Amino acid sequence: MSEGAGGRVSRGQLELLGTGTSSGVPVIGCTCAICTSDDPRDQRLRTSAALRFCDPTGLDRIWLLDVSPDHRTQALKSGITRCDAILITHTHVDHVWGLDEVRRYNAIMESSIDLFAESNAIETLERIYEHIFHAHRNANNSFVANLIANHVTPGKSIERHGLRMTPVRLLHGRLPIVGWRIDTVDGGDGGGLFPMAYCTDVSGIPPETYAALRDLKTLVLDMLRFRAHPTHFTVDQAVAHASEIAAQNTVFVHMTHDIKHSEVDPILPAGMSLGFDGLRLPCAPC
């Protein structure tokens, strides 16, 4: 037990492990100004995040929000050495094809890891990762992840480690997916981060979800590019929805190589900014 835990969640910090669209930026073989930019904020691994916090018993915890194909690189850069829960938004390749890598956390922690996702997402994961979810069929007793799948339903909260996670319905084109709202059970802000919501890969927000996104301190929201796209918010759409949700601090993710950080970030309204790989929220006051 660390001192000062006081039975409350503390030191909440959300690190953006990746902020790029499905191809990542630079895009393979592209020589555009952004793909060749020497600004590190223009280099984007695939979108995912790590939520670090100290639980009410004083234990340091890390939850992952999606596990991108870049997870190994992201974990090494970020210094992630444990995983206490995995929250899945949807099963597109750029969000879950790093799941195999979490076997290292199983080995370090000598325990299974709870994974939280909708039933259709769990069915897909069981098919993609048959060697994990049906390990008894493997020919050899090899080094595979040990995951426990927990089925979730939008609007129904689950409490773990002093936090309350609530999946909220989002539309990703015609595909219904979830974002995640996370509150402390104790009602505090855990050091300035909570309540927070993580809403990537969005092109539409149903009315009931707006109600579930009230009073946020921190919002992570999808913003693909300026031109229209059938399954993601444009810059204008993202800003409009962020204005309506009105979180204290909104950070945008999942950008393509049309977005130059140094040009787009300054034109965003107050309280909104572009995310970049390695950004940790809440930002230190500047």
214 token code pair: 């009230």
Stretch that binds Zn ion, among 91-99, 145-153, 206-214, 267-275 (CB under 5 A): 91-99
Q: Which C-beta is closer to Zn ion: that of 96 or that of 213?
A: 96
Rg of the chain's alpha carbons, rounded to an integer? 18
Q: Does residue number 52 form part of the binding site for Zn ion (CB under 5 A)? A: no
Closest CA to 113 of 87, 83, 143: 83
Stretch that binds Zn ion, among 48-56, 84-92, 123-131, 233-241 (CB under 5 A): 84-92
Backbone angles phi, psi at 148, to 5 degrees: -110, 115
Stretch that binds Zn ion, among 6-14, 25-33, 182-190, 222-230 (CB under 5 A): 25-33
Backbone angles phi, psi at 250, to 5 degrees: -115, 135
Task: Write the CA distances from 28 to 25, 32, 142, 274, 278, integer angstroms.
Answer: 8, 11, 33, 22, 21
Q: Does residue number 257 form part of the binding site for Zn ion (CB under 5 A)? A: yes
Q: Does residue number 171 form part of the binding site for Zn ion (CB under 5 A)? A: no
Stretch that binds Zn ion, among 5-13, 23-31, 63-71, 191-199 (CB under 5 A): 23-31
Q: Which C-beta is closer to Zn ion: that of 69 or that of 282?
A: 69
CB of 137 to Zn ion, least distance (A): 29
Q: Choose, by CB under 5 A, the member of 6, 30, 112, 127 that binds Zn ion.
A: 30
Q: Choose, by CB under 5 A, the member of 201, 205, 239, 276 that binds Zn ion.
A: 201
Task: Write the CA distances from 77 to 28, 89, 220, integer angstroms.
Answer: 21, 23, 21
Q: Does residue number 32 form part of the binding site for Zn ion (CB under 5 A)? A: yes
Strands (DSSP E) found in 71-186: 85-87, 113-117, 147-151, 158-160, 163-172, 175-184
Whether cis (ω within 30° of 0) applies to the bond prior to 282 is yes
Polymer length in residues for the chain:
286
Q: Is 131 exposed, middle or buried (0-12, 13-18, 19+ CB in 10 A)?
A: middle
Q: Does residue number 228 form part of the binding site for Zn ion (CB under 5 A)? A: no
Q: Does residue number 283 form part of the binding site for Zn ion (CB under 5 A)? A: no
CB of 93 to Zn ion, least distance (A): 8
Stretch that binds Zn ion, among 9-17, 34-42, 133-141, 180-188 (CB under 5 A): 34-42
How many residues sit close enough to Zn ion to count as binding (CB under 5 A)?
Answer: 8
Query: Using CA atoms, how far apart are residues 78 and 83, in angstroms rounded to an integer?
Result: 13
Q: Which C-beta is closer to Zn ion: that of 225 or that of 257?
A: 257
Q: Which C-beta is closer to Zn ion: that of 30 or that of 240?
A: 30
Q: Which C-beta is closer to Zn ion: that of 14 or that of 253?
A: 253
Closest CA to 70 of 80, 85, 84, 82: 80
Report the interface residues with Zn ion, using CB under 5 A.
Answer: 27, 30, 32, 35, 92, 94, 201, 257
